[in-house]
């Protein structure tokens, strides 16, 4: 978002039982490479207090042929080029060791930028002990669920 003169990004977070979803809309306006809008949809489902299915779908569109840049950490490494249309889908599993403070994450992501495609497989350890280490989103304060 720091490439744009103006930006907006509202989000909606919904949780019910084992299911949660985060939906974010993003708009960036006033860049040298035009304007861009995007959507990020992240549904998740807890099978039990330790195991979570995590999914994500992303869609972005720019008014310029090279208005969108590939992600620095993964997609640029495989030489994905800038473009005007981006789509990505992710599916993975999270294993909670100490709620949101310590968890193992593994998943597979497919991304496409104006015809360039990339597949990314990842396994991570997330370690977070900040002042709000119950979670960074309000839904993280109640998840993982307490199961009997």
CATH superfamily for 6-141 is: Autotransporter beta-domain (2.40.128.130)
How many other CB atoms are found less than 10 A from the CB of residue 70?
A: 21
Taking only the tens place, the pLDDT of each residue in 54-103 is 999 999 999 999 888 887 777 777 778 889 999 999 999 999 998 778 89
Q: What is the DSSP letter of 71?
A: -
Q: Which of 107, 95, 101 is nearest to 48 (CA)?
A: 95
Q: pLDDT at position 51, please?
A: 95
Per-domain residue ranges of the chain: 6-141
Q: Are 66 and 33 spatial neighbours (Cβ–Cβ below 8 Å)?
A: yes
Between CA 106 and CA 113, with CA 112 as vertex, the angle to 5 degrees is 130
> Residues near 132 by Cβ (< 8 Å), separated by ≥ 6?
none
Q: pLDDT at position 72, please?
A: 75
Give this prediction's pTM.
Answer: 0.82
């Amino acid at each position: 978002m720091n490439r744009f003169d103006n930006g907006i990004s509202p989000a909606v977070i919904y949780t019910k039982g084992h299911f949660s979803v985060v939906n974010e809309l993003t708009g960036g306006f006033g860049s040298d490479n035009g304007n861009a809008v995007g959507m990020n949809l992240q549904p998740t489902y807890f099978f039990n207090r330790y195991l979570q299915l995590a999914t994500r779908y992303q869609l972005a569109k720019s008014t310029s042929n090279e208005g969108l840049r590939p992600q620095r950490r993964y997609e640029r490494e495989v030489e994905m080029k800038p473009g005007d249309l981006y789509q990505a889908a992710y599916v993975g599993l999270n294993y909670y060791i100490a709620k949101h403070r310590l968890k193992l994450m593994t998943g597979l992501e497919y991304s496409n930028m104006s015809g360039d495609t990339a597949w990314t497989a990842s396994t991570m350890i997330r370690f977070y002990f900040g002042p709000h280490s119950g979670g960074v989103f309000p839904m993280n304060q109640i998840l993982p669920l307490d199961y009997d």
